[in-house]
Amino acid sequence: MTALFAGLTTLDVLHRLDHVPDPSLKVTSTDFTMAAGGPATNAAVTYAALCAASRILSAPVGEAGAASGVPLPSTDAPTLLTALGEGPVAAFLAADLAAAGVRVVDATAPAASPAPEAGKHPTDAGERGSAPASSPTSREPAVSSIIEHPSGRMVASTNARLDADAGRIAAELPERVGAVLIDGHNPALAHVALTLGVPKVDGEDPFAPLEARPPHPRILDGGSWKDWLTPLLGFVDIAVVSEDFAPPLMVRADGSQVAEFLRGFGITRTVRTRGDRSVQYWWDGDSGEVPVEAVPDASTLGAGDAFHGAFTWAIERGGDADPERLIRFASAVAAVSVSSFGTRQWLASPALAKLVRGWKVAEEAQQ
């Protein structure tokens, strides 16, 4: 069982301060890290960490790697469909994600060859008959510089989305997945992910692709509304949105309005996170709220992404039958993620294995 995540990848450069910075002074951080970031990317890393914890717990005693805590060889590594970019930053991101147990399918659009100079034939460069040397435009990944301090967070980011060629990488996607999650940052990649495994339908019926369903759930990470989401919503089965997700004409939408809006697209399962307040849900006609565990001195960067990654992992494993159990698990994983600085330290926390063990015990009890 594995999952496909589609969306944004950035380089996150993170600093932590023990005081509110004075803009006129140079400051020294008390902690620092760099890692691949982005909503779908962090969700995939979370999913991979839960898979690793599950494999270790399931391994026979004495099997190589089990006793030492080293992850065993993975057959369930999540796939991240993204536009990674090029250059040294992209190479760092690829290495970081490989170390985290995430398989990357890079859909970065190839650079266009420059047009030949006036009066010259395209084969005039170099030896006769050879192709002209290309000088593609640099396409470095987006970089987010983040400073976390006692009163909040400061963020500066470059352009968040690179051009992608979704058709070029179709053959590299897994044939079968247990779930798909999109963050909506790249509509072309989102569409490819959402239509993966959809049965072929009669081309004369424009609604047939929306009605044809793959065997796996398709999840929207709705951190905020994006104008190109509308044609994609009909392919979504579950929406996990934040308070900032405000569809058109809903500047200050409440949860029930958002759920009703999404229901118009056939989405009957909506979960709405609200930071440190209870998580709301509307699930196949039922609704309710699930309290969130308070975490002192929380470092909240990536908490929502961790929630989405854990949500995807759990729903693949039977969590869709009980939305409150599903939300409690995802919230507990998110609580672990905010207990340490950055988006990587928490992945080695013993609390993560404890949560996976608890999920497995409950799962076995239901069988």
Segment 286-322, tens digit of pLDDT:
999 999 988 877 777 889 999 999 999 999 998 788 9
Nearest by Cα to 217 from 197, 241, 243: 197
What are the chain's domains? 3-22+29-109+147-366 (3.40.1190.20)
pLDDT band (50, 70, 90) for residue 138:
low
Q: Which residue has the tokens 């900032």?
A: 244
Looking at per-residue pLDDT, the higher value among 71 and 258 belongs to 258
Return the structure tokens found at 189: 């990649």
Above 60 in pLDDT, residue 68?
Answer: no
pLDDT score at 168 = 87
Q: State the amino acid at position 53 in one-letter form.
A: A
Mean pLDDT of 233-250: 92
Region of 338 please: left (phi>0), alpha (psi -120 to 50) or beta: alpha
For helices 39-58 and 88-99, angle between their N-to-C axes, nearest 10 degrees: 30
**What pLDDT does residue 70 have?**
47
Do residues 90 and 84 make contact, with C-beta atoms less than 8 angstroms apart?
yes
Say how far residue 129 (Cα) sits from the centre of its chain. 46
Of 63-72, 270-279, 325-334, 341-350, the one with minimum mean pLDDT is: 63-72
For residue 154, the SS3 value is strand
| Residue 125: alpha-carbon gap to chain centroid | 44
Instruction: Give the number of other Cβ atoms within 10 Å of residue 165's Cβ.
Output: 14
With cut-offs at 50, 70 and 90, classify the pLDDT of residue 115: low
For residue 218, the SS3 value is strand
- Give how far Cα 157 sits from Cα of 16, 50, 88, 148, 258, Å: 17, 29, 18, 15, 28
What token pair was written down for 213? 């369903």
N- to C-terminal Cα distance for the chain?
18
The dihedrals phi and psi of 222, each to the nearest 5 degrees, come to: -100, 75
Q: Specify the pairing of strand 277-283 against strand 269-274.
A: antiparallel
Which range has the worst mean pLDDT, 149-153, 244-248, 329-333? 149-153
**Which of the residue ranges 10-14, 119-123, 205-209, 332-336 would you say has the lowest mean pLDDT?**
119-123
**Which pLDDT band holds residue 253 (cuts at 50, 70, 90)?**
confident
CA atoms of 248 and 121, how far apart (whole Å) = 51
Mean pLDDT score across all residues of the chain: 85
Radius of gyration (C-alpha) of the chain in whole angstroms = 22
Tell me the C-alpha distance between 270 and 176, whole Å: 24
Q: Which of the pair, 339 or 364, is modelled with greater confidence?
A: 339
Q: Whole-model pTM?
A: 0.87
> What average pLDDT does this structure show over 45-68?
75
Whole-angstrom Cα distance, residue 272 to residue 277?
10
Query: How far apart are alpha carbons 315 and 50 in whole angstroms?
Result: 13
Amino acid at 190: A
Q: Among 143-157, 192-206, 271-285, name the most confident range.
A: 271-285
pLDDT in tens, 22-33: 888 898 988 889
DSSP string, 268-320: -EEEEEETTEEEEEEETTEEEEE-----TT---TTHHHHHHHHHHHHHHTTGG
CA distance 103 to 76: 10
CA proximity to 194, closest of 175, 179, 174: 179
Dihedral angle over CA of 231, 232, 238, 240, nearest 10: -100
Residue 14 sits at φ, ψ, to 5 deg, of -115, 130
- Determine the 3-state secondary structure of 117 from DSSP: coil
